[in-house]
Amino acid sequence: MRPMKALLVEDVKIVRETLAKHMDWQALGFELAGVSEDGEQALRLIGQAPDDPPDLLVTDIGMPVMDGMELIRRVRVQYPDTRCIILSGLGEFQHAQEAIKLGVSDYVLKPVDIEALAEAVRKTAESIRQAHRTREEMRQADRIVRSQLPHLTANQNHPSGPPGQLKTRKTVDRILELIQAELTSSALSLQFIASSVYLSEKYVNSVFKQAMGTTIASYIISQKMELAGNLLKDPTVKVYEVCERIGYMDQDHFRESFKKHHGCTPTEFRNRYV
C-alpha cells in the first residue's frame, strides 16, 4: 500500500510551520503532500492531481478567503474518500459540531497540542487502512460470486453458451460492477441500475434474481450491511458515521436493516469486537 497523503490547511504561519515540521507525519503513516493557508489555495493544490487526492485533510475552521467549513463541504462532494480532521478554537465549537455532521473524522481544540493531533491522525490512519481492507475483501467476495454465477464461467473469447446466456452474463456482470462501485451511495437502487444499463427495471431484476437467487434490492442491502459490519469492527468509527458512509440517510432505518441482516443492533455487534 502506498504512503497515505495528508494536506495541512492553516492560515496562521507559525502554527502551520510548527505542525508541518514538528509532527512526525511519516511515523503516523502519512506523507505531508502539501500545506495551504486557506481553503481556496487548498482546493487549487488538490486540483493539480484530481485523480490522486489526499487521504487526509487537516484544516483550521476560521480562515480568510475560504474557511474550513466551506472547504470541507467541497471536499466531501468532490473527494468523498478524503478524511477530514478540523482544528477549532473554543469560540468555534458550534461550527465544529456542524463539521462533525458533515462526516469529519475528528477535531482538535486550539491552541493545538501536537500529541493530541498526532493521536487523532493515528486513529484516522487506522480507519483508512480498515476501509482499504474492507474494499479489498469486497472485491474478493465479488470475484467469488462471479465465479459461481450460472452460465458465467465460459471464456468470453471462446463462448460455449447460446447468445441469450452470454447476454445475461454480461448484464449481471455489469450490475455487480455498478453495485460495487456505488455501494456507499444513497442513490444506489434498482432504478439507478436499470437506467445505468439502459434496460427496464423488471428485466434487470429478473435476470439478476435468476443468476443470484435474490433481488437487486435485497442484494444491495445485504452488501451494505456486510460493509457496515466490517466498519463497526473499527472502534474509532462512530455508529452514525457508519450509517452515513454506507449511504443511509436515516439512522433508524439503518438500525432496522442492520438488525434484520445481522440479528443484533449495530451497538451490540460492535460490543462483540471491542
Strand order in the sheet with 106-109: 30-36, 4-9, 56-60, 83-88, 106-109
DSSP letters, 46-60, are HHTSTTS--SEEEEE
Neighbouring residues of 7: CB distance < 8 A, sequence distance ≥ 6: 32, 33, 34, 35, 36, 42, 45, 46, 54, 56, 57, 58
Residue 170 to residue 140: CA distance in whole angstroms? 19
More confident residue, 228 or 149: 228
Tally the residues of the chain.
274
Write down the pTM of the prediction: 0.57
Residue 118 to residue 130: CA distance in whole angstroms? 18
Q: pLDDT exceeding 70 applies to what percent of the chain?
A: 82
Residue 22 to residue 123: CA distance in whole angstroms? 19
Cell representation of residue 47: 486540483
Reported as a single tens digit per residue, the pLDDT across 173-206 is 888 888 888 888 888 888 889 888 888 888 888 8
CA nearest 112: which of 237, 34, 20? 20
Residue 255 to residue 111: CA distance in whole angstroms? 38
Cell representation of residue 51: 485523480
pLDDT at 151: 46
More confident residue, 134 or 60: 60
Domains, in order of start, for the chain:
4-127 (3.40.50.2300), 149-213 (no CATH), 221-271 (1.10.10)
pLDDT at 100: 63
Helix axes 39-47, 68-78, angle to 10 degrees: 20
- Give whole-number Cα distances, 74 to 49, 55, 166, 187, in Å: 16, 15, 42, 19
Neighbouring residues of 198: CB distance < 8 A, sequence distance ≥ 6: none
